[in-house]
Structure 1
Amino acid sequence: MKRYLKIGITGAAILASGILCAFVLFKMPVIISVLKGITEILKPFLYGVVFAYLLAPLCNKIEEKLFQIFPKAKTKVRRFICFIAIVISLCVAIAVIWLIIMMIIPQVWDSVMKIIQMVPQKLIVVNNWIEHMLENQPELQAYFEEFSSQAESNIDSLLNVDTIQKVQSIINSLSVQLFGVLGVVKNIFLGLLISAYLLGSRKLFGAQAGLILHGVFSDKWAKIIEEEIRYTDKMFNGFLVGKIIDSAIIGLLCFAGTSIMGFEAPAFISVIIGITNIIPFFGPFIGAIPCGLLLLLENPMHCLYFIIFIFVLQQLDGNVIGPKILGNTTGVSSFWVLFAILLFGGMWGVVGMVIGVPLFAVIYDIIRKLVYRGLRKHKRESMIADYEEKYHKS
């Protein structure tokens, strides 16, 4: 009887799982839209979680130093020390954000205005150069002249559109951009407030998570999960914080180099290079392309020197600065790093490119432990030893 009961329960579970999977597949667009709506509502909270996670190591270091200065502090004093550590950490975060904004906005404005002024002159130069090249090619010259006149007429017709419509279009575009910027500023402000609460309650949340873990799972599985959570925290914290420090150093070196060589908008270029350097592998190229195009409009030789400079700077980062700061944090080969960036970058965009490597390292570690557990269960320890000897140590 019990056997048939188990078979019936198993069949019902399989049938229910199939129905659930079919429902999810048919309702996927609705589910995605609902998740996007929830994510949009919780954006300030997500910002706060990210800020708190990045600031937690700094906050812990400040607390540790202050406790060393006041080793016999009472409970109220210790709470006040924790409060001071949180305030200092948030002040550092606000100062960094404000410094980056004040460096970017004036440089962006100046660069945009100079590009607007340079484009007509550059177009004339390019037009004259093409005409000079086609002097001995009458057929190509006739085709180019026809193309130029058609483009000019299209531009004239575009400029002759009703002024009120153009003004309305510009105002609508600016309004959308302004609301977008204000939304980001609001999320950052609320995120910093939420991060203060999270930093103040991080030890309480840790204790509560421990109670839940040991209350739901057996001691054996609770210990395994705790170890994996610690490994995940170590992986993400070490990678992200190390990458931010590494990118800040690269940004400063880029600013020094571009300033010495007299490039256009050195602060703007350096901030772009520093921020995009957080993205592994593709980051330097993503940042160098727009900066190179900006310099190309100003001076083609500066663009060439900039490309050479970025190549040298990235070699210095990849072979000296990065290994010194990060070491082999993830323990994942270059192939899997590239795979993780492409996979998670395709799924989640820039955020996926940043967190893809440590996330894949955690998944890789879980799979490795499961495989090793299975090999030990089947008395295949010699295979593990051979693999570790041949590949893991190298």
Structure 2
Amino acid sequence: MQIPEIKPDRFKKLFLDNKFVLFLLTLLLIGLNIFVLNKIPFVFKPFIVLVKTVILPLILTGVVYYLLNPIVDLLEKRKMKRVYSIITLYILIIAVVTLLILAVIPVINVQVMELVKNFPTYSQQVQLNFESWIGGSLFNQIQQTTGFNSTDWNNTITERLSSFISLAGASIGSFLGVVTETLLAIAVVPFILFYLLKEGHRLPNFILEFLPPSFRSQTYEVMSEMNHQISSYIRGQIIVSFCIGFLLYIGYLIIGLKYSLILAIIAAFTSIVPYLGPVIAITPALIVAAVTSPVMLLKMIVIWTIVQLIEGKFISPQIMGKSLKIHPITIIFVILTAGNLFGLTGIILAVPGYAVLKVIVSHIYHWFRKRSGFYNTFQ
């Protein structure tokens, strides 16, 4: 008598023995647990408070770490002990900061106060200049055609400024709270930075010890690529922004533009955001130049165009290169989306965050393609 062959269970074959299906089921269970626990406030609230407390010091420390770590590595290669290298670098930074406070901050303070004091009259001055440039009759015709009333517009601006000042006065407590948190974060940075510069090179191996041996090589590759992407972007973008600010300051001094130092500093800081930063930075310079004279406005546009050409053709290709390999359109959409989700912090961290996410997703995709075997039939 022939014993009938027992066929394997189709459910077990299709689901239980399928690693991809088990992976999806695991993700589903993790998501359900997070969703349920999120409905209980006291479960995630301490974690959220912890993240909000440490995120700013960690971000600031990370930025300074990527700027200073190559210098410490270079000094260590020159036979100087790492601790002594860090202490020497700290002394140099304290000297530079002291020099800036004594020499540069007073000039910035004078220009900022003067700019704030004169800003309410700029709207009316720009209107008068514009009317004189195009002629009074043509300006009146434009007003009649468009329904634009300069008096009502000035009154509206005054009302908006008054409302803004009242709102600022009402929320002065929250503003002071933000300033206090920022100052505390900055005060903590040197202590975290010291230990990160001293022991940071051991951190990858420390993390790998918690992983199974089979995952360590690929995880180390992912961390190395993430580190390269972040370091290249932070160092490159800050150097490029500094060069833009320096060149604009020289150009503004040559043409005699008022508030040249503060306008160049604004341009340097806003240039940290790719593509969108220069558009924001040129606005105050345009207003100041337009108030001064049409010739000054033309000179300012020429200086800005020259600096942007130098930055786009010479500085960025040499410093940034093609390390991120992200299309400009993608960068713009990423910045806009991150800004809507997370505000100013999202705008600043959008590009490096996207670069890190791209590295992780790319490695997961290649790992899935290699393990699944779905693509072998097409090769």
1:269 to 2:263 alignment: yes
1:195 equivalent in structure 2: 193
In the TM superposition, residue 223 of structure 1 has moved relative to its aligned partner by: 1.1
1:213 to 2:225 alignment: no
For residues 256 and 331 of structure 1, do their structure 2 counterparts lie closer, same or farther at Cα, with a shift above 3 Å needed?
same
Counterpart Cα distance in 2 of 1:180 and 1:234: 32
Given candidates 57, 60, 80, the residue that maps to 2:70 is: 57
1:331 to 2:331 alignment: no
CA contact (8 A) 1:115 1:297 kept: no
Deviations 1:165-185 (A, max 9, x none): x9x988667776566545433
TM-score by length of 1: 0.70
In the TM superposition, residue 325 of structure 1 has moved relative to its aligned partner by: 1.0
In the TM superposition, residue 84 of structure 1 has moved relative to its aligned partner by: 2.6
Counterpart Cα distance in 2 of 1:329 and 1:228: 15
For residues 360 and 316 of structure 1, do their structure 2 counterparts lie closer, same or farther at Cα, with a shift above 3 Å needed?
same
Counterpart Cα distance in 2 of 1:255 and 1:373: 50
Counterpart Cα distance in 1 of 2:93 and 2:140: 67
CA contact (8 A) 2:245 2:264 kept: yes
Given candidates 291, 299, 321, the residue that maps to 1:305 is: 299
1:163 equivalent in structure 2: none
For residues 100 and 40 of structure 1, do their structure 2 counterparts lie closer, same or farther at Cα, with a shift above 3 Å needed?
farther
Identity %: 21
1:114 to 2:118 alignment: yes
Aligned length: 354
Counterpart Cα distance in 2 of 1:144 and 1:355: 40
1:356 to 2:356 alignment: no
Greater shift, 314-323 or 367-376, is seen at 367-376
Counterpart Cα distance in 2 of 1:220 and 1:349: 40
Counterpart Cα distance in 1 of 2:378 and 2:91: 51
For residues 371 and 227 of structure 1, do their structure 2 counterparts lie closer, same or farther at Cα, with a shift above 3 Å needed?
same
Given candidates 295, 313, 327, the residue that maps to 1:319 is: 313
For residues 356 and 148 of structure 1, do their structure 2 counterparts lie closer, same or farther at Cα, with a shift above 3 Å needed?
closer
Greater shift, 171-180 or 291-300, is seen at 171-180
For residues 260 and 363 of structure 1, do their structure 2 counterparts lie closer, same or farther at Cα, with a shift above 3 Å needed?
same
CA contact (8 A) 2:57 2:188 kept: yes
Counterpart Cα distance in 1 of 2:140 and 2:267: 44
In the TM superposition, residue 375 of structure 1 has moved relative to its aligned partner by: 5.0
CA contact (8 A) 2:38 2:44 kept: no
3-state SS of the aligned residue for 1:329? coil
Greater shift, 258-267 or 330-339, is seen at 330-339
In the TM superposition, residue 267 of structure 1 has moved relative to its aligned partner by: 0.8
Counterpart Cα distance in 2 of 1:150 and 1:308: 30
Counterpart Cα distance in 2 of 1:119 and 1:317: 32
Greater shift, 289-298 or 95-104, is seen at 95-104
Deviations 1:334-383 (A, max 9, x none): 33333333333333333333332233233333433444455556496898
Greater shift, 339-348 or 14-23, is seen at 14-23
Gaps of 5+ in 1: 71-77, 160-165, 385-394
Q: What code does the residue aligned with 1:323 have?
A: P
1:91 to 2:91 alignment: no
In the TM superposition, residue 258 of structure 1 has moved relative to its aligned partner by: 0.9
Deviations 1:308-342 (A, max 9, x none): 43233222211211001111111223333333333
In the TM superposition, residue 18 of structure 1 has moved relative to its aligned partner by: 6.1
Pairing 1:147-186 to 2, within 5 Å after superposition: 148=151, 180-186=178-184
1:388 equivalent in structure 2: none
TM-score by length of 2: 0.72
1:81 equivalent in structure 2: 84
1:392 equivalent in structure 2: none
1:222 equivalent in structure 2: 216
Counterpart Cα distance in 2 of 1:154 and 1:272: 23
2:60 equivalent in structure 1: 47
3-state SS of the aligned residue for 1:201? helix
Greater shift, 171-180 or 52-61, is seen at 171-180
Counterpart Cα distance in 1 of 2:31 and 2:366: 32
Counterpart Cα distance in 2 of 1:202 and 1:303: 49
CA contact (8 A) 2:225 2:359 kept: no
For residues 125 and 49 of structure 1, do their structure 2 counterparts lie closer, same or farther at Cα, with a shift above 3 Å needed?
closer
For residues 369 and 303 of structure 1, do their structure 2 counterparts lie closer, same or farther at Cα, with a shift above 3 Å needed?
same
CA contact (8 A) 1:107 1:265 kept: yes
Deviations 1:175-205 (A, max 9, x none): 76566545433432232333233323324x5
In the TM superposition, residue 249 of structure 1 has moved relative to its aligned partner by: 1.2
3-state SS of the aligned residue for 1:243? helix
Counterpart Cα distance in 1 of 2:265 and 2:125: 28
